[in-house]
Amino acid sequence: MSLYRNVIWFLKGIHEYTRNGFEAASKNFEARDLDISVVGRSFMITGANSGIGKETAMAVAKKGGTVHMVCRNRERAEEARADIVRESGNTEVYVHVLDLSETGKVGEFAEAFRSQQRSLNVLINNAGCMVNKRDVNAMGLEMNFATNTLGMYILTEGLVPLLQNSRDPRVITVSSGGMLVQKLRADDLQSEQGGFDGTMVYAQNKRQQVELTGHWAKLHPAIHFSAMHPGWADTPAVSTSMPQFRQMMGDRLRSAEQGADTVVWLALSRVASKTASGTFFQDREAVPAHLPLAWTGSSAEEVQRFVDQLETLARATSSQTPHQETGDATCPRQTMTAATPAVQS
């Protein structure tokens, strides 16, 4: 079955996920969908210092939105912020420092942000990583899972109250078409069974994100949740984590701006907010979250078991983290950076 899934997925990718695929799909885009101002609306974007995250932050800033860049490296984030402010003319761009793999600190960050900000209209979960050799964070959690799934889960859960009290709230998760080859493994969240393949672990994390999107959509009907696939985009993270893939695909890869297009559309357009919550998107269209005959669907019981484990881990990591009175995990109103590199494939 795994061979079937991978072959079908790759053939689909060559046709749809490349630069040519984007150019073909974009012929059906409505330019007026993004003919909008978002002055007065606030957007949090994780992994916003490069690639798809930075392109998204730039697009939002150009439309007048307030941008909260959440990145793990302050220097790179400040450089990206300077670029965004210079090109957009919008100074309402703030840097927050947070490494999503440090799961114990994520809840503290969300709590601090929630207490200091009046609203958050859109959360864009873009940051991610692909660690190709098994590694763990300070709390013993597998690094890909800690960053891509648990950190994202804790952040989103922590910001739900703020989102619920904001106008037209949305949560967008940058997933990956690679998740199509994976069925949710509710009993092996940290990829401890069998050999460790970083690419497949990443794909499993992306399947986890899509399942969470559907779960949240049912749990929080006041918020519009969506996940999306950016296509095969040429980003710094892809160069670092998948150099052979990048070399093989060459100029067939999409630009980072093309990869970000659907994220921007989901974040800004009125049309997107009228679509069904919990949907998976590609090139501004709702698409199936499963390949035909791939048997990757999960039962409601499997999804709930998965979510229950996340909640248990989230509580455990929170209890193990000493409260920090000061430092980058807190969120001063004017000082904010997070850039766990986003790898989209």
CB 227 within 8 A of CB 172: yes
**Could you give the CA distance from residue 196 to residue 253 in angstroms, rounded to a whole number?**
27
Judge whether 153 counts as a catalytic residue.
no
Active site residues: 202
